Amino acid sequence: MQLIDRALCSVAIPGAALALLATTAPAQAQAQAQARQAPLLTPETVMLTIDMAPGEPPLVVTLAELMQAFRVPGMSVAVVQDNRIAFSAGFGVTETGGTTAVTPATLFQAASISKPVTAMGALWLVERGRLSLDVDVNTQLKRWKLPESPLAATRKVTLRRLMTHNAGLNVHGFAGYAQGTAVPGIEQILDGKPPANSPAVRVIAEPGSKCLYSGGGVTIEGLMIREAADQSFEDFMAARVLRPAGMTSSSFAQALPPELAARAASGTGPDGAVTPGKWHVYPELAPDGLWTTAEDLARLGIEVSLSREGKANHVLSQAMTREMLTPHCPDDPGNPGGIGLGFGVGYGGHPGQFRHSGANEGFQGLMFMDADKGWGIALLGNSDSFSSIYDRIVQVVGDAQGWRYPARPPSAGDLLLVVAARRGVDAALAQYDRTRNGKDDPSVLNLLGYRLLRQNQIADAVRVFARNTVLYPQDANAWDSLGEGNARAGSREAAIRDYRRSLALDPTNANAKRQLEKLER
């Protein structure tokens, strides 16, 4: 895979033409201004070029084609330059099968990008002495208390540790609740009591000993905010963070006001179908409940970037903003950055960079900002597969702008899905044979098979899984996956055969045992 070179060409000017420069300069300035205003991204923008077989033309993939391949009906993007929004646009539609176009005003669920926004609310209270970063949270909580644990006998769960995901708590994330179903209160969520669909939030490791990403911990943070503020979480966050940061199209309310609800996109599953009820409800609020636009997330990035330099500070002081962007819990031993108070910070050795991604049922997004350079980008999409393409978008925009962005390369499985979408499964399997270079990695075709399965391309998925078992006949997981594909295809006997083969190769395969029990009844 290689990215298209989008560098501008230079033109030499003959000596005889130099006399004309004085008269043509205004026209050239106007042309240059128009060039600067040209869209950074269009549906026809080339996202990647995939080299195919020798003598065969490369596969050139545009943004629109990438969205189609990954079943992304709509997305919105906002680009920041010099701490100002320089470009924003919407692409696609707000709902699969619909005709309403996504615009910069379209709302999406921000999912875990809610966490740094919540952190700003908590830090606003810390600056006013109504919360403390470094005392036992149970001394600040009022009605509900985190159950005592011998793991926290000496080192306590604190607000700072909740924000940096090293409080030793469980519950990585939340599934949300379908529209029309019973929704739990905050204490039911924290204790894992019905109708909560998540386990109780509890200490499972010594606080401060390791990084354990915990949406459960941020839910406790949200409870601390509402009790310290003595008002609803939604109202407090609107008054103290969202509106001061200029995020006028954003809300933590799960029952959106009519004006915002009319602009909300519907979630989309990996098969391209609309999420039942259009979207899930997230009563935890603090870790995952924000509705917003790409432009509003860009404004948040600008607010934090400028506040770090003492030039905005509508929410937090310069000192507190710098504290927020200081890495505390290292998320990668090879990365000098880590997790700050809400954001991931210091990526690739660039201390001014901060980011957060998010994924709710049917929605995914990314916010990235470089405070040292004043540039950034926010992207939101109404698809469970949007994360497979948003790094490509940032890379292409970043290359055009000269950014230093630590983009992940597309996975081999993702590239094969693009080939399958554009040229068929036979072409994807042939591409795999050409590019694996003798490496034995059954996970690549396994990923492709599951992506096809989730898109309800069941026959194609079975072909991919079957090819994997031919190439890797001793891989238990390859046979397990083929069993799942055949079961989805209604081929009961074949599925039983496949699961038995998987179990013979790996007698500890609990999934194969469960599936065989169902199939052999």
* Measured distance CA(48)–CA(63) in Å, rounded: 9
Closest CA to 91 of 106, 79, 81, 80: 106
Work out the angle between the directed axes of helices 215-229 and 114-127 (0-180°, nearest 10): 40
pLDDT in tens, 440-455: 889 999 999 999 999 9
Q: What is the DSSP secondary-structure string of 283-336? A: TT-TTT--EE-HHHHHHHHHHHHHHHTTS--SSS-HHHHHHHTS--B-S-TT-S
**How far is the C-alpha of 262 from the C-alpha of 38, rounded, in Å?**
30
Q: How do residues 341-354 score in pLDDT, each as one tens digit? A: 999 998 767 889 99
At a CB cut-off of 8 Å and minimum separation 6, what does 37 contact?
none
Polymer length in residues for the chain: 521
pLDDT score of 411: 87
Looking at CATH, the fold of the domain delimited by 108-248+257-401 is given as: Beta-lactamase (3.40.710)
Ranges of the chain with pLDDT below 50? 1-36, 334
Predicted confidence at residue 348, as pLDDT, reads 67
Residue 371 Cα distances to 80, 148, 204, 306, 414, angstroms: 11, 40, 35, 7, 31
List of residues 6+ apart from 449 with CB closer than 8 A? 461, 462, 464, 465, 468, 481, 485
CB burial readout 187-200, b (16+ within 10 A) else e: ebbbbbeeebebee
Which CATH number describes the domain made up of 412-520?
A: 1.25.40.10
Q: Residue-wise over 414-440: b if at least 16 C-beta within 10 A, else e?
A: bbbbbbbbbbebebbbbbbeebeeeee
- The predicted structure's pLDDT at residue 190: 98
Question: For the chain, which residues make up each domain, given as ranges?
Answer: 108-248+257-401, 412-520
Specify the DSSP class assigned to residue 158: B
- The domains spanning 108-248+257-401 and 412-520 adopt the same CATH topology: no
- DSSP type of residue 358: E
